[in-house]
A and B are shown apart, each in its own frame.
Chain A
Amino acid sequence: MKTLHKTLHKTLIAALASGVASMSHAAEFDVAITNVTAGVFFTPLLVSAHGDAESMFMAGAAASAELQAIAEGGDISGLATALSGAGAVNAENPAGGLLSPGATTEVTLNTDNASDNTYLSIVAMMLPTNDGFVALNKWEIPSEPGVYQVALNAYDAGTEANDEVLGSGAPGEAGFPAPPPVAATTGTNGTGIDASVEGYVHIHRGVTGDADTEGGQSDIDLSHRWLNPVAKVVVTVK
């Protein structure tokens, strides 16, 4: 009886130990992000492993000021600071600038010293758009080693009217910014699409564009249209 008890006890301990092992999350993992659009650029990406309390946005709710700065001008500094302040492990701008259509960037995140960072978020502005962004929002990182693939959609931050006119990347200022090489295909003197600020984060309806580089309704060229998904993410848990 005593022996049996001991055996049971050992088995229980083994089961508990393996249970604990399988619940522990990946300490190191690779993230490969591919821009799968035919004609949209991603501004510098923010890749973050963070805890359960953080989330970049809630679809249907208003965007934070930090998200607005990304969606309208590609500025990730505010959100990166907020996330790292909350203990997140961040990779900022892994592509070293814009991620072109068809291009891939890879980064390795290590959460050894922050084991509660079990969620992955990725965000960048989409150019040319007024306030469009690509995002993976609070995706639970699998604990099991393996290769995981996720398709990302394009969102509209809802903070700026989609007038599609060349303008500013500063939050609250109209128009979209056009750094090179986006400038090469950007028109001028568009009369602007009659649109309003939606007020909440939602799936982007796409851009209208036009074929007129010196006028028309839009300064966005037809070549910058897209359909979802806009990015492929491959997470390799080691």
Chain B
Amino acid sequence: MTIQQTSLILCAAAVLTACGGKDSDPEMATFEVAVTNLTAAQPLSPMTLAVASPDWSLFELAEPASVALEQIAESGDNSALLAELEGNAQVMESISGTGVVMPGMTATFEISVPESDLDQASLSAVTMLVNTNDALTAVRGVALDAIELGGSVHQSMVAYDAGTESNNELAATIPGPAAGGEGFNAERDDSDRILVHPGVIGVLGGRAESVLGEEHRFDNPVAGIVITRIE
């Protein structure tokens, strides 16, 4: 989504407040969001960020994943989730990262929310650990109105197992550079609940048929997010 499209949607959602009039643009609160990949060898698929009402939830722990979330968890493809976010009245803004976030690297985004909507604005973000069957990491519903100008909030990000694909670690089923296997598959052959990921095992860990090496293992947190109010 381009920045221009974002503004249009924000105006549509906020038409009753201040959009439309050329000289009555709403006061905007702007935040910088920086996500750092803390793993050794798990690139993160292009990030998806959403600013939404606190009533909206990206997912619930121990509940089944939506198909859009399953697509991210199994293949890193966030197009279905972005389409859902754009059509959701509870979502004020959605952003897609432009590339993979390599281990040790930081992806930075800027988001703007009308001041008048801040008390209803919470940030969620999600991405896949690509050298896995269906691991994702996320933050869910960080309240933006608590962050003062110049201040920031840090959160650690836990790896979740989408529960939509067996963690067999086979080359044919892992899409990342460690394997180049299949991404999304509509079949659900695991618990069908989003839970905390048990970690990858690899050959050295005792899974002889695994394509993963010891470097693909991870522990929590797998990423860190810093949200800073800059305007």
Task: Using CB atoms and an 8 Å cutoff, list the residues of chain A in contact with chain B.
Answer: 34-39, 101-104, 151, 206, 208-211, 216, 222-223, 225-230, 232
Q: Which of B191, B206, B219 contacts A227 (CB 8 A)?
A: B219
Is B207 on the interface with A (CB-CB < 8 A)?
yes
List, in ascending order, chain B residues with CB within 8 A of A36's CB: 61-62, 195-196
B206: contacting residue among A103, A222, A226, A232, CB under 8 A = A222
Residues of A within 8 A of B159 (CB): 227
- Shortest distance in angstroms between B166's beta carbon and chain A's nearest beta carbon? 10
Q: Shortest Cβ distance from A76 into chain B, in angstroms?
A: 23
Residue numbers of B with Cβ under 8 A of A are 61-62, 158-159, 161, 163, 191, 193, 195-199, 201, 205-208, 219-220
Residues of B within 8 Å of A232, CB to CB, are 61-62
B196 contacts A222, C-beta separation under 8 Å: no
Question: In whole angstroms, how far apart are the Cα atoms of A225 and B200 in the complex?
Answer: 9
Cα-based distance from A36 to B161 in the complex (angstroms): 10
Query: Are B208 and A211 interface neighbours, CB within 8 A?
Result: yes
Residues of chain B within 8 A of A225, CB atoms compared:
198-199, 201
A36-B195, A39-B198, A101-B195 known; A229-B158 Cβ under 8 A: yes
Which residues of the partner chain A approach B193 to less than 8 Å between Cβ atoms? 101-102
Contact A38 B196 (CB under 8 A): yes
Secondary structure class of chain A's binding surface, majority of residues: loop
CA distance A208 to B219 in the complex (A): 14
Determine how close the nearest CB of chain A comes to the CB of B157; give it in whole angstroms: 12
- Are A37 and B195 in contact, with the CB atoms below 8 A? yes
Contacts of B191 in A (CB 8 A): 38, 101-102
With both chains docked as a complex, state the minimum distance between the C-beta of A125 and any C-beta of chain B, in angstroms.
18
Q: Given the complex, which residues of B lie within 8 Å of A223, measured CB to CB?
A: 198
Q: How far is the CB of A144 from chain B (nearest CB, A)?
A: 15
> Which residues of the other chain, A, contact B197 by a CB distance below 8 angstroms?
38, 227
Q: Which residues of B lie under 8 Å from residue A210 when comparing CB positions? A: 206
A148 to B220, CA, bound (A): 22
Task: Looking at the assembled complex, report how far the CB atom of B170 sits from the nearest CB atom of chain A, in whole angstroms.
Answer: 14
Measured in the bound complex, the distance between the Cα atoms of B197 and A228 in whole Å is 9
Which residue of A101, A222, A227, A229 contacts B207 across the interface (Cβ within 8 Å)?
A: A222
Alpha-carbon gap, A103 to B159, bound state (A) = 19
Complex Cα spacing A208 to B217, Å: 13
Alpha-carbon distance A30/B163, docked complex (angstroms): 28
* CB–CB A211/B207 < 8 A: yes
Beyond known contacts A38-B196, A229-B220: 14 more, CB 8 A cutoff: A36-B195, A39-B198, A101-B191, A101-B193, A101-B195, A102-B193, A209-B206, A211-B206, A211-B207, A223-B198, A225-B199, A227-B159, A227-B220, A232-B61
Smallest Cβ distance from A229 to chain B, in angstroms? 6
Chain B residue numbers with a CB within 8 Å of A151 are: 158
What is the CB-to-nearest-CB distance from B163 to chain A, in angstroms, rounded to a whole number? 7
Name the residue on A nearest B167 (C-beta). A38
CA distance A37 to B158 in the complex (A): 12
Within the assembled complex, what's the spacing in Å between the Cα atoms of A41 and B119? 39
Q: Could you jot down 20 A-B contacts, CB within 8 Å?
A: A34-B61, A36-B62, A37-B195, A37-B198, A38-B197, A101-B193, A102-B62, A102-B191, A208-B205, A208-B206, A210-B206, A211-B207, A216-B206, A222-B206, A223-B198, A226-B196, A227-B196, A227-B197, A227-B220, A229-B158
